[in-house]
Structure 1
């Protein structure tokens, strides 16, 4: 950051992310999945924070996906305009709320931090501070900037042809080059970028993304062109290839861009078959991931109940649970498909970035725990307990899918990457295959009901087990409240705990047989009000790019 700010000047502050090994955050365009870091400022009147100066991102391959982001330590500088009316000798209190998504190969965790900085106001030009100044200066010096480069883009025989000329590109071999678009869906991110260079610049041949394939080239394409001599912001207008951008030789392949071949055709039978196989394997292994551990409580109760059931009952329960799991995966796949058609980029576990969803899941976990503890008992589709029946088994399967979504099992990444690039029907079939894989241990009971004879017989021990297994549900609710705190801060936690109080009261009243229609209506309206409080308002209409 700047050591101080002079009246009427532009100071520089930065948000520093120290990312643990094996984890990463995201660039302004996250690529095939993820979400960009966003900053929300609270500053004195007249102070104007600018846009993030984004460092050049790394290309992060995860099986069939390509993401753009950062690892290790990264600085996100922001210019801050200080009004001429600022008085020397005072301080400007700057508060920023940083909302970001940090992911590993297995799971993603949304997080939020509120940071405060008192920026002194003094006369004279201000240097950067001694502690972080050198690192921030390196970002400012190397971050992509406009450089007087002229660019054109065209769609030729299913290939996006991007040519750039002039400025620092003229008169030399650009070396390994790569184009990072500012918007998702413009190019196929995992596909290799090939091309050639000439005396005036270079030409890149890119595989079009979903949006370009669906709608064609509808306007300019903006992004960052990274070369061996620096990274530059460009805006390619639709038009023919610029002269002098080829003929001198092929472009060297970017270091981690993969072999010079296009991504496998997502509509091919081989890709589809492999995605189905990996989806089943990934869904099966998902049962062992930590996100699913709380649901093992309900699974254990359901299996224990089947120990003394007949073959027909075992088959019905197993099919109901399997149907719930498969439908849960189809719902998530359908939601991702809808977001894709709407032009948004979202990935596995996207719903856990929504405070309202996290709060509702915490309340559901609490209600399930209270049910297992014997506070109340119902005959509806909330839990698969002694009274849950087929509806309970179905609901248990669907709930298991929702709770499992923060985790990604081995093989799932390949299946998800392929599915997200497929047309609608094959994509949904891959998600259904994941559900079948996750439900496979239970589904075997539908095929061979005799396996239930190996389970322990029901008895008094089941009641003790049921009460003990309530505690994983309480632990899951506590973890979800922690996630809610990262997303919405203290206000979100207060609303979440208020909803938990309503859930506890409703459970107690049901256990006493005193929750009539009026009480249920009041609890429902209270819950809806709390959810509305946790739902962020729609963003304002975006202005022109800055």
Structure 2
């Protein structure tokens, strides 16, 4: 009898503790939803009169789920419509680490079986907490259920069991730090990449992302490499089309691994280039080979090819062996120079400096050196003197007979230097891939670029008969040397014109005048007044004809070419502002030292129909100048995976992510790109 009394008293005590010290709805179930039940408990926070703690427990049948605060590609998260005096702003929800569900190609984030969500209400402790909980649950179908509730806190006190439950629920909420040592987020059009480093390594890392306004983040692809975990997520807009730029936005994620989770807020930075592996390495190697080969067809390299032709003609006893050795030496100069560029890029990477193709032409010292070298080559080709550098340099850049191999090696190196202002098709893609790749891949791709550029030289080395088909030396060689000298002089004057970006125009004109006077004086002494006058006159006529044919002063129908486009400074903000106004954006990144940029300008951008298209009311033209070092322009290019100019891109209402055009522009490509970006008018 005594034991029965004790059991009854204990039961009453437990009932009294449950109802007297912790407000509790008990398990609530709806007639319309037998697959879930919910329970709400609440109690004022210990030693606080301005905070109330609440626990929302959800129990689900097997095969059913509910959602996290960011459901993913479908669904909605649980919510409460609070009754006064409680408001939505007072409620702070803490969310345990979710799981990922994949159904019919759609990925969502949420919970299954059972979950308890801690909620903290700030402000004065109310007498009653009431409202309606809206809970989504899904299996093969989805059900949205409302659960009205009311919790009387009038007699609530300190309840050790509620405190334990609340602490246990908070223990499943991701911590602020302690999992990843470093973590970064980068974005390029259509792809978000999150990289996390952990000294202890990773077992089964997962990432859960909060929603970004206007964007939808897909299921991540996880790649673990020792201490580094990389998550690559597709990014679209809310309709599955091309996403707007999310660079600069703050991303909220939960990173988890083997039961430990961390809540992290990251700023999304530009992703410099496509991660190695997204494109097969052999494909990029072929691009590098083709890009290097096409450099031989660019106008930058033409003077050096002329010099090489002249060197063959000056060999008195031409034979296959000597021609093979000469061209192998020149090929070695090309390849060695590309490896030197790889070394330079390696050093720049380790010192966090700007990486880019042709950036050495941003330096006045480099341009000055190239002006000096081309001037010496010009004088040599004109037969004014032989060039013999000091023995420490051990390289004879040019001699009449070119009997040594060092001169041929130097020709290949010099051709590579002159090729760097040119961005040929495939070259930009290969270089961008190389600069973002591990160092062994970087060196391998620059080696392929060198082999590609040296292919014509290697072909003659393999089949010397190609060179032996040239006519025998004679008087015509003198005229050819003068022609080659004129080509080299034009390259020298072009390089000198680039100094206007560093010095005044008057200084450059004076230097050009001094150079021309010196060359004319030396030529006058060697060839006489009559020959010099005839040569100068012929050169003036040829220069005039070239100006009439290819310069900006000869447009269609004989009209002068004019640039009537109202170019605006390039910036990410300008692009987004124009897109918000439903306008088309044409981006042109150029540099004065870029020969291909000049060709695009005069052959395409300054043509009448293209000018008319780019001056339409709904078109915004933005131009970035990379002639001198510019961090904004460099960041802009790196974000788009480019390291070279020219760079052109078109945005519009039907192409908000932007379309990157080929380095060599065509009229049809520009006009069609503008039309596609605009859509139906």
Give the shorter-chain TM-score range.
0.3 to 0.5
Instruction: Output the TM-score relative to the length of structure 2.
Output: 0.38
Instruction: Output the TM-score relative to the length of structure 1.
Output: 0.46
Structure of higher CA gyration radius: 2
* Structure of higher RCO (CA pairs closer than 8 Å, 6+ residues apart): 1
